[in-house]
């Protein structure tokens, strides 16, 4: 029977169940779509014959909210949801967010801070002898000692703070089945210490073979440099074929052991996962609240791959999905797209075909699937590896097949492309022409992140000249095709290494392109990224060299304001930044050179009007001549 999984005892009775095998407690609203981790895990378990019931966003002030289904036969599963609960709750300025896209009606506050820990504590109060297995992005990225931005301190493994018995990291499909089968065989959860992609706690590590002993937690708290060293050991130990167990000690005689990662899924296995009987929408119980906003963008999008070899320092994908790209078959994606066309809400537009990086459809080189990823080099950074096989032919073929489906009007690419990978492809211009003709909706999202090569190096991004070359080819192709399209750059302010001088240089580049970005992201120190380690320790863990960290709130505000220097409300911050950076030459009336006009005496209407025009300049997406970063066109 194709239906939502039980969310109440009445649903269980309809299925003829007396007891669930697993009760899955999640911090999101229940959305049965393959873009939601809990949906995948629960459907994978169901496909193996296990009975899974869902408790979505329980009342965390009431322990009884966890007891809706009673005690499960095999155990509880816990996930904070598709996001870390703290990222979900707070902006980079640590201010509460007003909405939550993963909750009914977008309402904020329906899950607690550190949701995994809170849910586990509720379970442990009522079901002390029931196994508790945690997973999802929050658990995955907090599996060992980690810096927590919101409390501004080093925290223990979430496995200890939650009181859970076992932690699954990564995507989890293979691990959860092995864990379920082990529990079903009668094995005690404390004896499940052998499954890849899991983390367990123990008081005896004598049986851990060939493990790497990390600095103990007390040493990490006492010396930030030890934490940087420990993190980089973990970072280099993330390949399934080469990784060894990692051992982290807490106190006198307590250990957390991370087993090596699970192997990547094969194409057939990925197809199987995405062809499970998802309902592809939120549970109807949320209709009264207006639904769940997160479904809107992904309902008519296709996940074609997972994993990323891009090496961005601020991204946690290496720790979660891994560096080896896994892809679904054309047939699987075409079947899903055809099913979309039968949905009454489908208007003919597939919103995205991609993943972490849309144009990655294969591992970066042939040896990865046999020998795993290299521990001493990256695939694209600082230059493309000689062994890299940059090839867009499979992706182009897939896109052509999708747009040929009856009922499909347009196929967009919104998850972003890796422009240095495009340039590394000898036939990259063919791909640029393909997307310009058929897959850009006036704007192409790309992520140069910055223009300063010093900052880009710390970000793990290619030099700015690489991005400029991509834009040159993109512009040239659009001109040849007679298309009025432009690239929208994503930019990050206040990343470790970014000085005011670098921020001013970025503002100058924005001046030259004649386009003010509508969206700016302040660097957000989320758990388990290289950039977060830089923020906390002041060193680059890859080299142990010191890194400038803009942590002062005033300077961070100035760096952000410089990116949107034309906004009148940013004037004082921009002026202060320019004075502090010794760049008063950028304060004046010369629009081609200056960023802002001089401050005028109050009461001067002519001067105020002149200042307002100059400070505002061309608005986002309007006017201005296209330059190195992105051409500017009419607003769409």
Burial class (CB in 10 A: 0-12, 13-18, 19+), 191: exposed
CA–CA gap between residue 439 and residue 416 (Å, rounded): 12
pLDDT tens column, 530-544: 999 999 999 999 999
Domain boundaries, the chain: 9-196, 483-636
> Quick one: pLDDT at residue 635?
34
pLDDT of the residue at 198: 98
How far apart, in whole angstroms, are the C-alpha atoms of residue 451 and residue 562? 13
- pLDDT of 311 reads 86
Q: Assign residue 603 a region: left if phi > 0, alpha if psi is -120 to 50, beta otherwise?
A: left
pLDDT at 371: 86
Nearest Cα residue to 246 out of 192, 256, 254: 256
**Helices and strands (H and E) in the chain: how many:** 24, 24
Residues of the chain with pLDDT under 70: 1, 600-636
Contact 527, 470 (CB under 8 A): no
In this structure, what token pair is assigned to residue 61? 């002030």
257 φ/ψ sector (left φ>0, alpha ψ -120 to 50, else beta): beta
Q: Return the CATH architecture of domain 9-196.
A: 3-Layer(aba) Sandwich (3.40)
- At residue 1, the pLDDT reads 66
Q: What's the pLDDT at 3?
A: 95
pLDDT score of 602: 53
Nearest of 211, 247, 259, 244 to residue 375 by alpha carbon: 244
Task: Check residue 586 and report its DSSP letter.
Answer: G
Rg (CA), the chain: 25
Burial, 107: exposed, middle or buried (Cβ in 10 Å; 0-12, 13-18, 19+)?
middle
CA distance 52 to 438: 42
pLDDT score, position 513: 84
Q: What pTM was computed for the model? A: 0.92
Which DSSP string do the residues of 432-449 spell out, in sequence order? Answer: HHHHHHHT-SSEEEEEEE
What is residue 538's three-state secondary structure? coil
CB-CB contact of 600 with 611 (8 Å): yes
Q: How far is CA 299 from CA 77, 99, 247, 407, in A?
A: 25, 20, 41, 16
Q: 330-363 as b/e, with b when 16 or more CB fall inside 10 Å?
A: bebbbebbeebeeeeebeeebbbbbbbbbbbbbb
pLDDT at 612: 45
């Amino acid at each position: 029977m194709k239906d939502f999984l039980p969310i109440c005892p009445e649903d269980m009775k309809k299925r003829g169940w007396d007891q669930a095998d697993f009760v899955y407690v999640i911090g999101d609203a229940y959305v049965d779509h393959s873009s939601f981790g809990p949906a995948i895990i629960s459907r994978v378990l169901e496909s193996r014959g296990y009975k899974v019931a869902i408790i979505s966003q329980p009342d965390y002030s009431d322990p009884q909210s966890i007891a809706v289904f009673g005690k499960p036969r095999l155990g509880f599963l816990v996930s904070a949801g598709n996001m870390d609960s703290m990222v979900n709750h707070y902006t980079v300025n640590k201010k509460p967010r007003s909405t939550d896209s993963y909750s009914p009606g977008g309402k904020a506050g329906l899950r607690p801070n550190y949701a995994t820990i809170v849910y586990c504590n509720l379970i442990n109060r009522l079901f002390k002898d029931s196994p508790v297995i945690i997973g999802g992005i929050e658990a995955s990225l907090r599996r060992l000692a980690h810096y927590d931005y919101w409390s501004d301190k080093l925290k223990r493994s979430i496995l200890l703070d939650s009181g859970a018995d076992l932690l699954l990291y990564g995507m989890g499909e293979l691990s959860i089945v092995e864990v379920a089968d082990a529990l079903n065989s009668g094995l005690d959860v404390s004896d499940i210490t052998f499954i890849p992609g899991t983390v367990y706690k123990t008081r005896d590590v004598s049986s851990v073979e060939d493990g790497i002993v990390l600095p103990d937690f007390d040493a990490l708290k006492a010396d930030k440099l030890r934490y940087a060293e420990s993190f980089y050991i973990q970072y280099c130990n993330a390949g399934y074929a080469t990784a060894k167990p990692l051992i982290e000690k807490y106190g006198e005689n307590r250990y957390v052991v991370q087993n090596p990662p699970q192997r990547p899924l094969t194409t057939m296995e990925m197809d199987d996962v995405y062809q499970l009987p998802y309902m592809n929408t939120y549970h109807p119980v949320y209709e009264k609240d207006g639904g769940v906003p997160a479904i809107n963008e992904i309902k008519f999008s296709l996940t074609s791959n997972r994993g990323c070899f891009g090496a961005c320092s601020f991204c946690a994908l290496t720790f979660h999905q891994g560096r080896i790209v896994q892809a679904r078959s054309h047939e699987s994606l075409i079947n899903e797209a055809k099913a979309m066309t039968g949905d009454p809400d489908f208007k003919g537009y597939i919103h995205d075909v991609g993943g972490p990086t849309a144009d990655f459809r294969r591992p970066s080189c042939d040896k990865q699937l046999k020998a795993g990823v290299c521990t001493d080099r990256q695939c694209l950074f600082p230059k493309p590896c000689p062994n890299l096989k940059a090839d867009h032919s499979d992706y182009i073929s897939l896109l052509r097949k999708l747009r040929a489906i009856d009922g499909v009007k347009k196929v967009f690419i919104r998850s972003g492309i890796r422009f240095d990978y495009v340039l590394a492809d000898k036939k990259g211009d063919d791909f640029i022409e393909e997307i310009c003709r058929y897959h850009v909706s006036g704007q192409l999202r790309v992520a140069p992140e910055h223009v300063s090569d010093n900052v880009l190096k710390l970000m793990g991004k290619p030099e700015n000249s690489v991005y400029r070359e991509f834009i040159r080819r993109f512009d040239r192709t659009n001109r040849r095709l007679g298309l009025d399209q432009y690239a929208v750059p994503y930019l990050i302010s206040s990343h470790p290494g970014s000085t005011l001088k670098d921020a001013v240089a970025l503002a100058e580049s924005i001046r030259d392109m004649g386009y003010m970005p509508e969206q700016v992201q302040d660097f957000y120190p989320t758990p388990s990224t290289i950039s977060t380690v830089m923020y906390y320790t002041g060193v680059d863990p890859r080299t142990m060299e010191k890194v400038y960290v803009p942590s002062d709130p005033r300077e961070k505000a100035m760096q952000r304001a410089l990116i949107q220097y034309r906004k009148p409300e940013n004037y004082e911050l921009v002026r202060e930044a320019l004075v502090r950076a010794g760049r008063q030459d950028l304060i004046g009336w010369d629009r081609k050179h200056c960023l802002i006009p001089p401050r005028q005496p109050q009461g001067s209407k002519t001067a105020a009007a002149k200042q307002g025009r100059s400070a505002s300049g061309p608005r986002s997406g309007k006017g201005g001549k296209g330059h190195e970063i992105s051409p500017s066109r009419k607003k769409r």
